[in-house]
Chain A
Amino acid sequence: MPATRPQTTVPAAAEKISRKGFLRNLGIFFALIGPGIITSNVDNDAGGITTYSLAGSEFGLTLLWVLIPTTLALIVIQEMCARMGVVSGKGLSELIRERFGAKVTFYLMVALFLTNFGNAISNFAGVAASMEIFGVSKYISVPLSAFFVWWLVVKGSYKSVEKVFLVACFFYISYIISGFLAKPDWALIGEQLITPTIRFEADFLTMAVGLVGTTIAPWMQFYLQSSVVDKGLKAEDYQYARMDVIFGSVIVHVVAFFIIMLCAVTIFQAGIKIETAKDAALALAPLAGKYCTWLFAFGLLNASLFAASILPLSTAYTICEAFGWESSLNRKFAEAPQFYGLYSLMIFLGASVILFPNIPLIPIMFYSQVINGLLLPFVLIFILILINDRKIMGTYVNGWVLNLISYLTIIALIFLSGMMFYTSLR
């Protein structure tokens, strides 16, 4: 520093900063988190919670261990997407369009729209079910919630929307609290968590596959990558994006763990047969107290609302990106008609399907799962090709260790989704 400029405060301040290096890093982390945590949490949507409840109440604690490999698989896949987003600055559908052309992209987007639409419907069903526990008719709760999530996104900006979403993530804690309310035997649970149990029975295997399938869905990869891009992270900030992804993937499975565990120590032990998440919530009242039911229902409502908003949003983003249409929350309706149009269509059509009496909900869910299973292998293979393309990734391509891990993960996932596809067709 030149002597002519007496800036004695600067070194002192610098020292202060370096001493608080950890806190500063934490600060940066909190400024950059969001995409990974939000994406992972949306994954615990109405369908996810139903699957976890069923897994716990039908098979007790025996399936808990599946969560550990699933967490790892989720981290591997999501990390690649976050890396692609940071390095290329482009969304996954954009990259696919530029690399694989219009035809492939078109069919991929049609499939994605259909499966996401099915998911959107199931989330409005989740809203209806959870509000019915509180005694609110679905004819009131579903239109109100549809309007709420629509208004939130169409009238808000990205910043405000992300804040609301992060708050929604926090509410998943209700499942953790309700887990503690059941006063479980922690030693036994810990043991089950680390003991892989496989039973070669069709039901058991189907449920195990279902657990994995509900956690790793095609839309997530698109959404995560787009929101990483939207955050405008630089390659230097990549480590924070990775932390975000890991943190999110772990949290999502902690929540899943508590749901399975709760249903296992209560419903499974009491030998009650349930079919939906609503049944699970209601069955909890005599076993673990009415607060437990309320918390469970509240968690379901939060998750459904959250996913009912993000899924259509993600779909609209992905499709507009692929076809080069204006897509940003910071635009007005008239400036991005396709974007808001797709978003609104999914929400209002999804919500009105639930309001129809005698709607064949099960076949809708079924076909949406089938398309989901068909789509996932393609998306995963595209991710692998893109992440190893030096033109796009430069020096950030996968190393051989990472490639080996991701190949194994992806082969396992393709195998599982093929099995799910097969069992659901039977």
Chain B
Amino acid sequence: MAINLSPQVFLFLSQILGKKIVDSTGRPWGRVCDLVVTSAEIYPPVTGVLFKPIGKKAILRFSWEKIIDLGRELIVEPANIGNQIEVPVKEGELLLKESLLDKQIVDTHGAKVLRVNDLHLLKVNHSLRLVHVDVGLRGLMRRVGWEKAMDRFFQWFFDYHLTDSLIPWRFVQPLSSPDLLRLRIAQNRLAQLHPADLADIIEELDIHKRSEVFQSLDIETAAEALEETDPKIQVRLIENLNPAHASDIIEEMSPSEAADLLGDLPKEKAEGILKEMEKEIAEDVKELLVHPEEKAGGLMTTSFPALPPQANVQEALDHLRQQAENLDLIYYLYVTDAEEHLLGVVSLRDLFTAHPQASLADLMDARVVTVTVEEGKEEIASLFAKYGFQAIPVTDEHNRIKGVITFKNLLEVVAPQLGK
């Protein structure tokens, strides 16, 4: 048989499903209805075949090793076909048709949610491995049975050779069941996505898959993705979590984002989460919560660098280096006294170019543009536009610094009005 002669052959799942199974004496056994793979490997090998015996309703399974030849028909050893076991799929196994074909997947390379039209398998010697997922038009037409007609039409009409759009399996995250997402926690492919892309993908999924995907993420990835997600969907995602888990995620978010989110949650839920959070972060967030979202007080973050005027440049740089991970803003360092009165501001550029022993008092710019907690977003936007700052500090009536509005914070409230 031709297939046995060539060492490598590509096959599509749609070509295997429905194939007749016969033993080497030519006796028919049934038809293929699904393939089982073990999903731990990079290119999962097919380990089992599910089939429907002739005249029976039950679906049975046998091991891939019992297959002698895969050609026009599936030929098995006659002696072994008796060892069929009933369907159960073990942990770490994946049914190709049941959980992938026609279902949604995430292409982690292209950062898109797609629907699977076909699966591309590679036959090397005796083993068959899943290598690609077909998401293209050609795959769809193959399923419908018009592949050849479609090819000919494209060739004749557009003089264009239609190719398959295949995604390598290592870039594929299946979504069809929560187990599949859990399976991959160790090597969760979603975590490789940029948080903003991940947020887009989460928004695109249906309500159930959204929570499943979100809950499969590690805390840090979840927090980053959550920051980029639409506020309404944020609320849904957090509502489905228990307070302890929710507070872990919210702690990782920037305080201003966390406050916006908690402000949108039902009061009881928000209080429950605040109780579970670390004291210090919870205090920060509570402070931000009292301000309306569209005013300066609601936009600002409380996680910004501030040092006394006596500190020198070296100390300031060390401080930034240590705290950078937790700060929402590192480009400006605010100079404050013991009562948190805002005295001046030093930029990172100033710090880099100044002498390490110079004191901040000498270096700082005392003419700081500030806004009050009550300032509206339009006014703030025009200040940003006028001065070209990265951030603007927010002070109370006694010039005590309450927080800082970063350009990113502002952009989030202004962007929806910019139009498409």
Contacts and interface: CB of A to CB of B under 8 A. Distances in A.
Given A98-B102, A323-B140, A232 B232 contact: yes
Interface centre among B113, B145, B420, by most A CB within 10 Å?
B420
B144 A89 contact: no
A102 B117 contact: yes
Contact of B103 (A88, A98, A234, A332): A98
A339 to B, nearest CB: 13
A326 B204 CA distance: 9
A399 B389 CA distance: 63
Given A97-B115, A232-B232, A88 B145 contact: no
Contacts of A106: 140, 143-144
Contacts of B143: 101-103, 106
Contacts of B236: 232, 234
B135 A88 contact: no
A90 interface: yes
Contact of A103 (B112, B135, B145, B204): B145
Nearest to B116: A324
A101 B116 CA distance: 11
Contact of B206 (A90, A97, A234): A90
A97 B209 CA distance: 17
A324 B104 contact: yes
Interface in B94-114: 101-104, 112-114
A155 interface: yes
Interface in A152-200: 155, 157
B244 interface: no
Interface in B389-420: 420
A34 B57 CA distance: 45
Interface string B182-215: 0000000000000000000000101111000000
Interface in B203-254: 204, 206-209, 232-233, 236
Interface residues of A, number: 20
Given A97-B102, A102-B144, A155-B420, A229 B206 contact: yes
Nearest to B104: A324
Given A155-B420, A323-B140, A324-B135, A102 B206 contact: no
A234 B145 CA distance: 39
A382 to B, nearest CB: 14
A89 B102 contact: no
Interface in A90-132: 90, 97-98, 101-103, 106-107
27 contacts: A88-B208, A89-B206, A89-B207, A89-B208, A89-B209, A90-B206, A97-B115, A98-B103, A101-B101, A102-B117, A102-B140, A102-B143, A102-B144, A103-B143, A103-B144, A106-B140, A106-B143, A106-B144, A157-B420, A232-B233, A234-B236, A323-B140, A324-B113, A324-B115, A324-B117, A324-B135, A332-B420
Interface of A: 88-90, 97-98, 101-103, 106-107, 155, 157, 229, 232, 234, 323-324, 326, 328, 332
